[in-house]
Amino acid sequence: MRFYKTCLFCNKQLVGRTDKKFCDPQCKSGYQYQQAKEQPERFYNKVDNQLKLNRKLLKEFNKGGKVTVRARTLKEKGFSPKFFTHYWKNNKGDVYLFIYEYGFLKREEHHIEKYILIKWQDYML
């Protein structure tokens, strides 16, 4: 008695070994891609991706070492101030949040939310 199985990706009838699951490597790859896409992204990946995006944006906007940028501008590009790697508190008591070597401080001027962007310095140890 012969059991007929179908490819898990394209549903074509399989010919060959009895434990075969896919008709060719392309179907196997397509199936694995589809499965990965359907599974919820792991928490670690979400955090890591957001940290990378935050760092990229801070680096892109901070060309002069210390810059002030409207918060809305960064947030429109995907920046999230909830994700940071560490912080530094200056002598005035201001707490700068850092994403690796790029930091930001939230300020409000004339009812407009802004971020002061800085880069890590040796004296901040």
| Predicted local distance difference test score (pLDDT) of residue 76 | 97
Q: Do 31 and 58 share a domain, yes or no?
A: no
Give the residue-averaged pLDDT of 47-73: 95
Q: Do 27 and 52 share a domain, yes or no?
A: no
Count of domains for the chain: 2
| Predicted local distance difference test score (pLDDT) of residue 2 | 59
Compute the mean pLDDT over every residue in the chain, rounded to the nearest whole number.
92
| Confidence bin at 1 (pLDDT 50/70/90) | very low
Which tens digits make up the pLDDT trace of 61-115?
999 889 999 999 999 999 999 999 999 999 999 999 999 999 999 999 999 999 9
Q: Do 60 and 13 share a domain, yes or no?
A: no
User: Rounded CA gap, 7 and 11, in Å?
Assistant: 5
Q: Whole-model pTM?
A: 0.68
Q: Which long-range contacts (CB under 8 A, 24 or more apart) does 97-102 make?
A: 99/51, 99/54, 99/55, 99/58, 100/51, 100/55, 102/55, 102/58, 102/59, 102/62
Domain that holds residue 20: 1-39
Q: Do 120 and 59 share a domain, yes or no?
A: yes
Q: Do 31 and 67 share a domain, yes or no?
A: no
